[in-house]
Amino acid sequence: MRFTIRDGFVIHLVTLVDQGDDRAPVRQETTHYAKTAVELDAIQAKDHAHKLEPFKDSKGKVDADSAAFLDGLVVNSPAPPSNADIDRLVAEKVAQALAAVLGPAAVAAAASTVPAPGTGAAGA
């Protein structure tokens, strides 16, 4: 499959080239830079998928095989946490750390006088 390397990335490939005539294979190293076209097999493409985009020819036609391959690798990731979720998680971790050091009673007493994250109100 043919791909284009994304801006800001470089791919280093190592392949073994068979020399025939009962000679040992030779290790061949190649480096491909951003915005260059590269031909990769499925294993190589999967290892470097985050660095690749489908190949487009001079007329702007996208290589269907490379596009389908990359689309098949996309994993649905969860939405990032909201600011409220982050505030809640930080508050929980701080409370756990304080409880480990000062004891649960001190944390409970402090919580009643400290504003809840994002509210500005004490004890919320």
**pLDDT tens track of the chain, all 124 residues?**
999 999 999 999 998 888 888 888 899 999 999 999 999 998 999 889 989 999 998 898 998 998 888 888 765 556 677 888 888 889 888 888 888 888 777 667 766 666 666 665 554 4
Q: Would you say 123 and 116 are in contact if contact means Cβ atoms under 8 Å apart? A: yes
Q: Are 20 and 69 found together in one domain?
A: yes
Q: Are 66 and 113 found together in one domain?
A: no
Q: Look at residue 123 and tell me if it is in a domain.
A: no
Range of the domain at 111: 79-118
Q: Look at residue 124 and tell me if it is in a domain.
A: no
pTM beyond 0.75, yes or no: no
Q: Look at residue 86 and tell me if it is in a domain.
A: yes
Domains: count for the chain: 2
d(CA 19, CA 6): 33
Q: Are 103 and 55 found together in one domain?
A: no
Buried b (16+ CB within 10 A) or exposed e, 5-44: beeeeebeeeeeeeeeeeeeeeeeeeebeeeeebebeeeb
Q: Are 59 and 98 found together in one domain?
A: no
Phi (first) and psi of residue 91, to 5 degrees? -60, -40
